[in-house]
Copies of this chain bind each other. A is one copy, B any other.
C-alpha cells in the first residue's frame, strides 16, 4: 500500500476490503510521504516491510521472490500517476483509488505505463460493485428498460457545508492536490456509476461549477447537463454542501419500457418500474451477480461493495475466470478525467456545451 498512513480515511477502507474475503495480505507499504509517519503507521499495522519512498518500494518488491503482487494506491490524487507508473513499470498490479489522477496529462502517463506493462491496472469505483448496481447493469444490458431516455445521477454530501479543518477536508479543497473539488471527489463516482449501469457515456455536457463556501478554492457544487449520442438526456449533480445528506448517492435510469431507481441509503433494494404494471422491489434475492456473502435481508453495504472489487481483482490476478463482473479500470479513469476536464471547460465558458473527449 502507498499512502493510507495514520489519519487517512480511504486507506483503512482498502485494507478492510482487501481483508474481508481473505484473499489479500498486507505485507509492505510506503504509507506516508513523511518517513517517520510512514514507519509509525507501518508499525501500528504490523507491516513486515515499510518503505520511506514508493519508488524504492516498487523496486525492492519487484526484486524479491516473495514481493507483493499488487499495490493499493490511496494517496491524494496528484500522487496517483507517479506511484502507479512506478509500480506498473515494476510489473506489479495496481489497485488505485479514484479519480485516476489530478489531471488528464497524468492520466495519460498512467495509460502509457499500463500499455507497456504486463501488470494490470484497477480503479476502485466501489459503488459499481454493489449487488443491486450490478443487477441494474444486467437489466439494462439485456434490454430490460428499452431504449435509454433519461439518466439522473446524484452524489450529495453536506460535510463541507462549512470550512472544515480535518486532513480529509484540506487536501480535497486544495486545487493542487485534488485537481478538482466535488466534481472530482464524488462527481466522478456518479459519472462512473451512470456509465456502468447504462453502458453508455455522454458525448457532451454543460456544467455549472460553484463554490458556495466563502474562500473555497475548488468547486463544492457541480450541476451538469448530459447529452448522449443516442438522443438520451441526463443530469449529474454532485455537492458537498448539501446539508442533511451524509453520503447520498443515487441513480435514476429511465428507458422507453421501464425505469430503475437506486439509492445508496437503501442500497439493498432496486426499484424496477415497468411502463405498465406495478413497480417491483428487487433485492439480493433477485441479484444474479452473487456479489455478497450473506442471505438477502442481512444488510451489506459500503465495505462489502468495496470488498467485491478486491475479490474480483484477486480472481483476475489468479486467472480464475469464474467471476465475470466488470472491474473498473483505466477506461473508467480516463473517462472520469475527461468528464472533469469537459466540465471545467464548459464552466469556464458559462456552461456552453462541450464535447467529452475520451
A248 to B269 Cα, complex, angstroms? 14
Nearest B residue (CB) for A22: B19
Q: Tally chain A residues at the interface, Cβ within 8 Å.
A: 83
A3 to B234 Cα, complex, angstroms? 37
- In the complex, whether A225 has a CB less than 8 A from a CB of chain B is yes
Nearest B residue (CB) for A233: B210
Per-residue B-contact encoding for A234-245, CB less than 8 Å = 1, 0 else: 010101011111
CB <8 Å contact, B273 and A278: no
CB <8 Å contact, A246 and B295: yes
A161 to B255 Cα, complex, angstroms? 9
A15 to B294 Cα, complex, angstroms? 12
CB <8 Å contact, A243 and B225: no
Q: A300-B302, A303-B300 are in contact. Are A242 and B259 (CB under 8 A)?
A: yes
| Interface stretch (choices A28-36, A149-157, A316-324, A332-340) | A149-157
A279 partner, pick from B208, B235, B280, beta carbons under 8 A: B280
Q: Could you say which of A157, A246, A282, A350 has the most chain B C-beta atoms within 10 Å of its C-beta?
A: A246
A271 to B275 Cα, complex, angstroms? 18
- In the complex, whether A264 has a CB less than 8 A from a CB of chain B is yes
CB <8 Å contact, B221 and A244: no
Chain B residues with CB below 8 A from A277, complex form: 286
Q: Could you say which of A12, A242, A279, A353 has the most chain B C-beta atoms within 10 Å of its C-beta?
A: A279
* Chain B min CB distance to A126 (Å): 10
- In the complex, whether A290 has a CB less than 8 A from a CB of chain B is no
Chain B residues with CB below 8 A from A19, complex form: 19-20, 22
Q: A299-B264, A300-B301, A351-B206 are in contact. Are A22 and B13 (CB under 8 A)?
A: no
Chain B residues with CB below 8 A from A297, complex form: 157, 245-248, 264-265
Q: Which 8 A-B pairs have the closest CB atoms?
A: A244-B273, A246-B297, A247-B297, A299-B301, A298-B302, A243-B259, A278-B280, A244-B259
